[in-house]
Amino acid sequence: MVHINIFDTTLRDGEQSPGVNLNQLEKLEIARQLERFGVHVMEAGFPASSQGDFEAVQSIARTVKNVSVAGLARASKADIDTTWEALKEAKDPRLHVFIATSPIHMTYKLKKTPEEVMRLAVEMVRYGKSKFPTVQWSAEDASRSDLDFLVHIIEKVIDAGASVINLPDTVGYTTPEEYGRLFRYIKENVPNIDKVTLSAHCHDDLGMAVANSLAAIENGATQVEGTINGIGERAGNAALEEFAVALNIRKDKYPFTTGLILKEIKRTSDLVRKLTGMSIAPNKAVVGQNAFAHESGIHQDGVLKHAQTYEIITPELVGIQSNQLVLGKHSGRHAFKDKIEQLGFSLSEAKLLEAFQDFKSLTDRKKEVTDEDLFTILTDIQTTVTNVKKYELLAFQVQSGTSNLPTATVALKSPEGIRVETARTGKGSVESLYNTLEALIKEEIHLEKYHLSSVGQGRDALAEVHVKMTVNNVPVSGRGSAQDVLEASAKAFLNAVNRVFYNQVFMKKEKAQV
């Protein structure tokens, strides 16, 4: 069995998805879960892109110890220096430096000749190796590059110190047969290729990212890059959960192992979905809500007689438990603490007390509390920013009906600590609530997207709202959860607005450093 290293880029390539805007605490929570999932390398971000990303990468590097932490850098000494400063405290830091190698990218984007690209690549790999124990070099748009040029530049960067060579299908253009042939050609024609790990990085523009990744490992790649839920720019990246489960289920065809803990898939997927606000299609492979649902009478009959008639993946394999009822109103703090540890959360005493109080409050209104409910409570607490001035919801009331004009009254605590309140109308309950909130908030707000979903099932399920908006022309996202749809809506709105204040903290730090 050949071992395949898993390079997770959820926090870098995944966060580049349109509308995704994670703060430092959210990134750190995802990083902890990726560590539990068992990824080999975690690309924590692009440190040179912003002060906020630098701080997040640095925080992850200081926290995560069982995973190699990587940072992306362009082929420039300034980028490499910044990446080193962010990662130097990591147990196993990795530089991921890239430059485009396809004719269309070199001509129109870089405006450099192939010879200039080669010189720059070699120089930057050599410089990176003077700082980092591991340097990964990526040939951006490798799948549309000239093969002989690739052979030549790869040989040179290996001599310069690269120990991982990544051949990305950057625009999701290639097919499994073509991508496999690319790796086979490089293996057969680069004289020093045995000194390095070959890596595959596929995008899903034509829906073939996972298939292309499988073709790569069949032809010599021993590292695969991707994201949780397949998120990423445009149509996204290869979905790591799909790749890992495919190897597990089809051991007869793929004699490879990854070391991933498959029972962590559902929890990892849910966390990324919740924090990014990117919903998952019900029919998505492995983690979609319909992945283990059987509506057809023939299918239901077959599954009842023998599960494997229609179910090739068991729910338990990916961490879906058939019975999630866990705690009730009589459960004590000790049982609650044990349960949250089982769910993979590690809370400080102060946050544990806050979570327990939220749990008790929920049991007053909900008879049975599920793992999904607890997951929502704990995730919100772990990723809430403290010690930052922000708007706080004090009270609200909405009046509506078939014969009444919907009217909302809201009281807020402003960032200056002043109570403010007013009332506004709207065409519906949510619009009247949002019109009122907007009237109380000084910032200029434009709502672009509103999404409502439920956490679990039943009439007492929690409501979860995700919004995307611009605040003072800055794109932000927000989320909120509560049993009441309107309360969840208000929380999501304020969560998005308050991210602006959180970002200002980093801007002040950046100016202070300058």
**How many structural domains are present in the chain?**
4
Question: Is 201 inside any structural domain?
Answer: yes
Q: At what angle do helices 265-276 and 24-37 cross, to 10 degrees?
A: 170
Rounded CA-CA distance 153/160 in Å is: 10
**Given the DSSP bridges, would you call strands 223-226 and 197-202 parallel, antiparallel or unpaired?**
parallel
- pLDDT of residue 360 exceeding 60: yes
Tens-place pLDDT, residues 81-124 = 999 999 999 999 999 999 999 999 999 999 999 999 999 999 99
What does the mean pLDDT of the chain come to? 91
Q: How confident is the model at residue 300 (pLDDT cuts 50, 70, 90)?
A: very low
Residues 166 and 189 in one domain: yes
Query: What is the pLDDT at residue 325?
Result: 47
Same domain, 76 and 108: yes
Q: Are residues 303 and 332 in the same domain?
A: no
What CATH number does the domain containing 492 carry? 3.30.160.270
Q: CA distances (Å), 94 to each of 6, 143, 258, 286, 384, in order?
A: 14, 24, 19, 30, 29
Inform me whether the pLDDT recorded for 294 exceeds 90.
no
For 298, the domain range is: 292-319
Write down the pTM of the prediction. Answer: 0.89
**How much is the pLDDT for 510?**
43
First-to-last C-alpha distance (Å) of the chain: 51
* pLDDT computed for residue 307 by the predictor: 63
Compute the distance between CA of residue 228 and CA of residue 17 in angstroms, rounded to an integer: 12
Per-residue model confidence (pLDDT) at position 500: 84
CATH of the domain at 110: 3.20.20.70
Contacts of 308 (CB under 8 A, 6+ apart): none
- Please report whether residue 284 resides in a domain: no
Percent of the chain with pLDDT over 70: 93
Binning pLDDT at 50, 70 and 90, where does residue 346 land? Answer: confident
Name the percent of the chain lying above pLDDT 90.
71
Same domain, 304 and 229: no
Spatial separation of the C-alpha atoms in residues 325 and 83, rounded to whole Å: 45
Query: Which whole number is the average pLDDT over 395-409?
Result: 94
Lowest-pLDDT choice from 7-21, 95-109, 118-132, 304-318: 304-318
Spatial CA neighbour of 166 closest among 199, 203, 126:
199
- The verdict on 133 and 8 lying in the same domain is yes
The distance between the two most distant Cα atoms of the chain, rounded to a whole number of Å, is 79
Sign of CA dihedral 492, 493, 496, 497: negative
306 and 167, same domain (yes or no): no
